[in-house]
Structure formats: structure tokens, C-alpha cells
Amino acid sequence: MMESKELKYDLYIGAAPEKVWDLLVSPEGCRQLFFGCELKSSFEVGAPYAYVGPGADGDATIHVYGKILTFEPHQSMSYTEHPGPSYYENHEELETRVSLYLELVGNSTKVTLVNDNWPDNHPGYSKAADSWVYILSNLKTLAETGKTLDLGW
């Protein structure tokens, strides 16, 4: 059974949608935004994807995976999302949906991210809420300044 809770974020970035999009899908942009991971996919609707990056032991690890639901370059993408197999034994049951929308507003980009369809008692909900704030803040800073945030971690 699905709960009605969702994570939703709106922000404005002083950069063109093309630049914001590139940071979200290019290997270099993803590594800077998603904790060293690259987004691996053909980006065709129905195709699998995975965020692959260094794991606790340094080896390549699938941190998040799923299926592309929609993909319109520089505008929107939506995908199912599962935590990687190393996080939870029941990772296949822990599916959510992420939808990302980019809209040109003046000379800026409005970014809307919705992470919804959370299964009851999903163990990653709180971590996702914290991670999205960091990722989106870092996206804004990187797009506007060319540098990532230095949070002292």
C-alpha cells in the first residue's frame, strides 16, 4: 500500500535549463552532485538506469537503480528508484518515483523535484529527504558558480 507522503522541492537557479540539465545527466556533473556517482543509462523510456560510484570499500557500487519512465532533454525526466542491493536485502520492494521538471523563467531555471510513491515504512525516507536538500543546493551552487558546496565533510 502506498502512503500519500512525498518529498517536493522547488528552487530557482541563475542558469539556463541546458546547463542545469547537463549537470544532472553528464558523467562529470553527476559525479559532483551525486556523491561521486555516474548516471548509467541509454535514457530511453523503459530502459534501466543506475547511479554507480565508489562504495564503502572503494569498489564500483550501484547506489540507486530503476527504470526510466519519461525523458525529455532539458525539460523533464521521471524514473522509478530503488536503493542499491548493498543497502537493503529487500531493495526490489523499495520502489519510489522521482520526477524532475525544468522550466525557463526569465533568465533562470525553475527546478521542481518530486520524490513520491513511497511504500509504507520505507527505511530510506528520512535519508532521501536530507540528501535531496544537499543535492539540489549543490546543483544551484554548481550551476551558478562552477564550484560545489564546501560543507566540511
Q: What is the mean pLDDT of the chain?
A: 93
User: Mind listing the pLDDT tens digit for each residue in 28-57?
Assistant: 999 999 989 999 999 999 999 999 998 887
pLDDT band at residue 1 under the 50/70/90 scheme: very low
Residue ranges per structural domain of the chain:
7-144
Q: What is residue 98's predicted lDDT score, i.e. its pLDDT?
A: 98
CATH number of 7-144: 3.30.530.20
Residue 3 pLDDT > 70, yes or no?
A: no
Q: What is residue 153's predicted lDDT score, i.e. its pLDDT?
A: 67
Phi, psi of 91 (to 5 degrees): -55, -35
Angle among Cα 121, 99, 95 to the nearest 5 degrees reads 30
Contact 80, 66 (CB under 8 A): yes
pLDDT band at residue 141 under the 50/70/90 scheme: very high
- The x, y and z cell numbers of residue 139, run together, are 546543483
* Residue 122 φ/ψ region, left for φ over 0, alpha for ψ in the -120 to 50 degree band, beta for the rest: beta
Give the DSSP letter of residue 118: P
User: Mind listing the pLDDT tens digit for each residue in 78-127?
Assistant: 999 999 999 999 999 999 999 999 999 999 999 999 999 999 889 999 99
Name which of 117, 123, 93 is nearest 7 in CA terms: 117
Residue 2 pLDDT > 70, yes or no?
A: no
Report the predicted TM-score, pTM, of the whole model to 2 decimal places.
Answer: 0.92
Q: What is residue 59's predicted lDDT score, i.e. its pLDDT?
A: 87
Contact 63, 45 (CB under 8 A): no
Angle among Cα 18, 150, 29 to the nearest 5 degrees reads 25
Phi, psi of 11 (to 5 degrees): -150, 160
